[in-house]
Structures are given as C-alpha cells and as structure tokens.
Amino acid sequence: MALTTHNIVYDKILIPLRDALRNEFEGSMPVYIDSKHKDIGTKYLRIFVDSQSLQYRRAKSFTNLYNVEMDYVLKTTKNDTSALDKMYRDVSRIETLLFQNPHNGYFFNQMPSIEQNADVGIDNALVAKITVPVLYQEDYERFGKFVTSDNKFFVTSAGSFYIVRS
C-alpha cells in the first residue's frame, strides 16, 4: 500500500508565496522559484527554501520551520538615490504583503529580516535579501505491525509482516 504524501515545500510553502507576490506586482516584476539567479530582466524576485528544521514532533504530525530566502534584484548602472529609493519602495511593499499574511495553511514564525545592498555576485545591481521563517505542520500516516494474541508478529509464508494503520 503506497503512502499518501504531500509536496510540502513546493505546494504548501513556495507556490502560495510566489502567487501572492505575482498577484501583488501584476506582471511588473518576474517572480520565480530557484536556487540560482536567472537573467530575466532589469528587476526580478528569486525565492527558494534553503533549509528546514524540525520544531515540534507529535504522535502523527511534525511541524517544521522553513527558511525561505528571497533575493530582490534591481539591475542598474546608476548608484544614486533614485535607484535606492526604488529598491526600498519595492522591498517595503513585499514586507507589507508578508505582514498581511494572506495565505492559509501556514504561518510566518516571525517578521522577515532584510539585508539591503547584499552582495550576491551580480554586477551593476542593487540586491536586497529577504529571509522569511515559515512554520508548517504536516499530518502523516502511522502504521503498526499486526501482532497475534500471544504477542508475536504475524508473518506470512513469504516472510512478510502484515502492516496495519494505527
């Protein structure tokens, strides 16, 4: 019997976040999911989950903290106030969107931390790194071995155990 599983990181964490950001910016800024930067215009937002860590473990569920990294990239050869203002404006807009927490099913563990003017190895670009900690709980199926009345495991002639849902 196959286990029923959910694609937690992609379907539960990244896609709702990406779609919320795409809806907010309505095509004015490409938003994509990947661990690497892509050359897709003068302004874009890259999002990815770098890591996850276990927070709580219960009998049939686990709660993880997902470390979502977002890189806002604005390509510009100008290093003046107007370029910086544009970056600060967009980053504040993203921060406000996250604060409003429009998603169902998961929670921001705390407000995002933002590093302005980050160095990610891209020339002629202003970059802000936004880190968002996200909590998500997943329920999982739990099984047990079939045990006979004398407390021995029931084994088939082929040597297999009977496994039952507990």
Query: Exposure string (b/e) for 6-34, b if CB count within 10 Å is 16 or more?
Result: eebbeebbbebbbebbeebbeeebbbeee
7 binds other proteins (CB under 8 A): yes
> CA-to-CA distance for 124 and 16, rounded, in angstroms?
31
Instruction: Judge contact between 134 and 103, C-beta under 8 A.
Output: no
Selected binder of other proteins within 26, 27, 28, 53 (CB under 8 A) = 53
Q: Which helix (H) or strand (E) holds 133?
A: strand 125-139
Strands 113-115 and 143-145: unpaired
Q: Least Å distance between CB 71 and other proteins? A: 15
122 binds other proteins (CB under 8 A): no
49 binds other proteins (CB under 8 A): yes
35 binds other proteins (CB under 8 A): yes
135 binds other proteins (CB under 8 A): no
Selected binder of other proteins within 24, 25, 37, 48 (CB under 8 A) = 48
The region of 54-62, 81-89, 90-98, 124-132 touching other proteins under the rule CB under 8 A is 54-62
The residue count for binding other proteins (CB under 8 A) is 31
Binding mask 58-87 for other proteins (x = CB under 8 A): ----x-------------------------
145 binds other proteins (CB under 8 A): yes
Strands 143-145 and 125-139: unpaired
Tokens found for residue 164: 């039952």
Greatest alpha-carbon pair distance for the chain in Å reads: 80
Q: Least Å distance between CB 76 and other proteins? A: 26
Strands 125-139 and 31-33: unpaired
- Please report, as ranges, the residues that interact with other proteins according to CB under 8 A: 2-3, 5-11, 14, 33-36, 48-54, 57, 62, 138, 140-145, 163
